[in-house]
Amino acid sequence: MNKELSDASYEKFCHFLHAKSGILLGNAKQYLVRSRMLPIMHRFAISDLDSLILQVISQRDQIVTQTALEAMTTNETLWFRDTYPFEILRNTLLPALAKKQKKLRIWSAASSTGQEAYSIAITIAEFIKTNRNAFNAGIEILGTDLSSDVIKVASSAKYDTLSLNRGLSADFKKRYFTLNSDQSMTVLPEIIKQVSFRQFNLTSNFSPLGKFDIVFCRNVLIYFDAERKTKILQDISACLQPEGSMLLGASESLASASAKFKMITQPSGLYYRKV
Ligand SMILES: C[S@@+](CC[C@H](N)C(=O)[O-])C[C@H]1O[C@@H](n2cnc3c(N)ncnc32)[C@H](O)[C@@H]1O
């Protein structure tokens, strides 16, 4: 078995990854590719790392290629991440949208294991508690991600103690989850029914997804180059309803797509409105 990754294979893999998923690795990330590819090499009984890379790029076996692409994603997430997006949702966006008396559609555009989408659904449930007739026309939250593995976890709505303890209050655990015999917890059916998940690559055509009132596109743009990032932001603008809103990650910005959005600053943080 040869576990070394040649410079030529690394470069080819970087090009392929960028073309297929938009993910830009940058210089000197050989160690990362190697550490993520070694388990795949063992799993598919491929004798050396360079051969695995060649096979991935050839796309002869879509399972091998997809597994390699998914292994390069970073799926870090938590409940109510950064707090302020959910405060803006609760205090600014939902009150305005409730007045329209239309079906509410929200997209969690890189949902990872689902915490963001369920945090949105719980925030809406809390809003409805004090605004009884809000969103009677229906609520639809869509979570999408490139990785089919994280989509499986998100769809199961079942979380272990470690992930439950990252950002979720004891009160919300009690009110929005049921306890399973193995100490994991499952999101309540009334929340699950508003949320659906599907695999979706942000480099593909957005139009089959329909129009949204709000898009959460958080902590994913950092992986793309400037050109891809601009294209994704333009596509998000096109799939938003007039005056629809977008929330980015705390360290992300509009870059050259600024003509499509107006930045709105709130006491807790900022969001973007389609112009
Ligand atoms: C760091 S997580 C962010 C999760 C969540 N939005 C949050 O802020 O907590 C980034 C996610 O983006 C997904 N991702 C990476 N490239 C993607 C692409 N081209 N299309 C769709 N999802 C992608 C990864 O699989 C990963 O689950």
Q: What is the pLDDT along the chain (275 residues), one digit of tens a residue?
A: 788 999 999 999 999 999 998 888 877 889 999 999 999 999 999 999 999 999 999 999 999 999 999 899 889 999 999 999 999 999 999 999 999 989 999 999 999 999 999 999 999 999 999 999 999 999 999 999 999 999 999 999 999 999 999 999 999 999 999 999 999 999 999 999 999 999 999 999 999 999 999 999 999 998 898 899 999 999 999 999 999 999 999 989 997 778 899 999 999 999 999 99
Measured in Å, residue 47 CA sits from the centre of ligand 1 at 30
Tell me, using a 6 A CB cutoff, whether residue 163 lines ligand 1. no
Q: E-strand spans in the chain?
A: 104-108, 139-145, 158-159, 177-179, 185-187, 195-199, 212-217, 240-248, 261-265, 270-274
Measured in Å, residue 75 CA sits from the centre of ligand 1 at 6
DSSP element (H, E) containing 9:
helix 7-21
Measured in Å, residue 145 CA sits from the centre of ligand 1 at 6
Ligand 1 atom closest to Cα of 201?
20
In CATH, the number for domain 7-71 is: 1.10.155
Q: Hey, what are 253's tokens?
A: 């910005």
Q: Which pLDDT tens digit goes with each residue over 145-161?
A: 999 999 999 999 999 99
Tell me, using a 6 A CB cutoff, whether residue 199 lines ligand 1. no
Tell me, using a 6 A CB cutoff, whether residue 219 lines ligand 1. yes
Tell me, using a 6 A CB cutoff, whether residue 203 lines ligand 1. yes
Tell me, using a 6 A CB cutoff, whether residue 220 lines ligand 1. yes
Q: Which pLDDT tens digit goes with each residue over 14-64?
A: 999 999 988 888 778 899 999 999 999 999 999 999 999 999 999 999 999
Under CATH, to which class is 84-274 assigned? alpha beta
Query: CA 85, CA 102: separation in Å to the nearest integer?
Result: 22
Q: HSE (CB half, 13 Å, CA atoms) of 71?
A: 20
Ranges for all domains in the chain classified under CATH 3.40.50.150: 84-274
Ranges for all domains in the chain classified under CATH 1.10.155: 7-71
